[in-house]
Structure 1
Amino acid sequence: MMTLACVVLIIVLTACSGTTGGGENDAGKVRVTATTGMIADVAREVGGAYVEVTGLMGPGVDPHLYKASQGDIRKLEQAEVIFYNGLHLEGKMTSILEKMSKSKLVTAVAERIPTEELHSGQATGGTEYDPHVWFNVKHWMRAAEAVRDTLIEADPDHKEQYTAQAERYLEQLDALDTEVREKIGQIPEASRVLVTAHDAFGYFGQAYGIKVMGLQGISTAAEYGAKDVSELRDFLVENQIKAVFIESSVPAKAMEAIIAGAAEKGHTVSIGGELFSDAMGPEGTEEGTYIGMVRHNVETIAAALK
Structure 2
Amino acid sequence: MKKSIFRSKRQVRLCLALGLALMLSACSSAAGSPPEARDPGQPLRVVTTIAQIAEPVSIIGGDRVQVESLMGPGVDPHLYKPTPGDIKKLDGAEMVLYSGLHLEANMLKVFEQLGKNKPAVGIGDTLPEEQLLKDTGGAIDPHVWFDIDLWKQALDAAVEELKKASPEDADEFEANKRAYFAELDRLKQEASDKIAEIPEEKRVLITAHDAFGYFGRMLDIEVVGLQGLSTEDEVGLSDIEHTVDLLLEHNVPAVFVESSINPASVNAVIEGAKQKGLQVSLGGELFSDAMGAADTEEGTYIGMYRHNVDTIHKALSGKGD
TM > 0.5 fold call: yes
Supply the AA of the counterpart residue of 2:168: D
2:52 maps to 1:38: yes
CA RMSD of aligned residues (A): 1.4
Supply the AA of the counterpart residue of 2:172: Q
The answer (yes or no) to whether the contact 1:46–1:147 under 8 Å persists in 2 is no
2:159 maps to 1:148: yes
2:201 maps to 1:190: yes
1:241 deviates by: 1.4
> Which runs of 4 or more aligned residues in structure 1 lie more than 4 Å from their structure 2 counterparts after TM superposition?
none
Distance, in Å, in 2 between the alignment partners of 1:26 and 1:246 is: 47
The answer (yes or no) to whether the contact 2:286–2:308 under 8 Å persists in 1 is yes
Distance, in Å, in 2 between the alignment partners of 1:284 and 1:95 is: 32
2:52 maps to 1:49: no
Distance, in Å, in 2 between the alignment partners of 1:286 and 1:207 is: 23
Question: What is the aligned counterpart of 1:254 among 251, 265, 269?
Answer: 265
- Aligned partner of 1:270 in structure 2 is 281
- Aligned partner of 2:125 in structure 1 is 111
SS of corresponding position for 1:271: strand
Distance, in Å, in 1 between the alignment partners of 2:255 and 2:65 is: 40
Supply the AA of the counterpart residue of 1:286: E
Distance, in Å, in 2 between the alignment partners of 1:272 and 1:26 is: 51
Distance, in Å, in 2 between the alignment partners of 1:81 and 1:88 is: 19
1:99 deviates by: 1.9
Percent identical pairs in the alignment equals: 47
- Aligned partner of 2:74 in structure 1 is 60
Stretches of structure 2 lacking an aligned partner (at least 5 in a row): 1-34
The answer (yes or no) to whether the contact 2:98–2:123 under 8 Å persists in 1 is yes
Distance, in Å, in 2 between the alignment partners of 1:270 and 1:38 is: 29
Distance, in Å, in 2 between the alignment partners of 1:209 and 1:83 is: 30
SS of corresponding position for 1:213: strand
Distance 1:75 1:69, change over 3 A: same
- Aligned partner of 1:202 in structure 2 is 213
Q: Residue deviations 1:226-282, cap 9 Å, x none?
A: 221222122212332110000001011111111111111111000111000000000
Supply the AA of the counterpart residue of 2:50: T
Distance, in Å, in 2 between the alignment partners of 1:73 and 1:26 is: 25
Q: Residue deviations 1:146-191, cap 9 Å, x none?
A: 1210000111111111111111111111111111111111111111
Supply the AA of the counterpart residue of 1:209: D
TM-score between both structures, scaled by the size of structure 1? 0.89
Distance, in Å, in 1 between the alignment partners of 2:214 and 2:280 is: 25
Distance, in Å, in 2 between the alignment partners of 1:23 and 1:46 is: 22
2:168 maps to 1:157: yes
Supply the AA of the counterpart residue of 1:268: Q
The answer (yes or no) to whether the contact 1:280–1:287 under 8 Å persists in 2 is yes
Supply the AA of the counterpart residue of 1:274: E
Distance, in Å, in 1 between the alignment partners of 2:196 and 2:230 is: 28
- Aligned partner of 2:92 in structure 1 is 78
1:301 deviates by: 0.4
The structure with more radius of gyration: 1
Distance, in Å, in 1 between the alignment partners of 2:181 and 2:172 is: 14
1:128 deviates by: 2.7
- Aligned partner of 1:18 in structure 2 is none
Size of the alignment, in residue pairs? 283
Question: What is the aligned counterpart of 1:214 among 222, 225, 241?
Answer: 225
- Aligned partner of 1:297 in structure 2 is 308
Q: Residue deviations 1:33-85, cap 9 Å, x none?
A: 00001011121011110011110000010100111111111110000000000
The answer (yes or no) to whether the contact 2:94–2:119 under 8 Å persists in 1 is yes
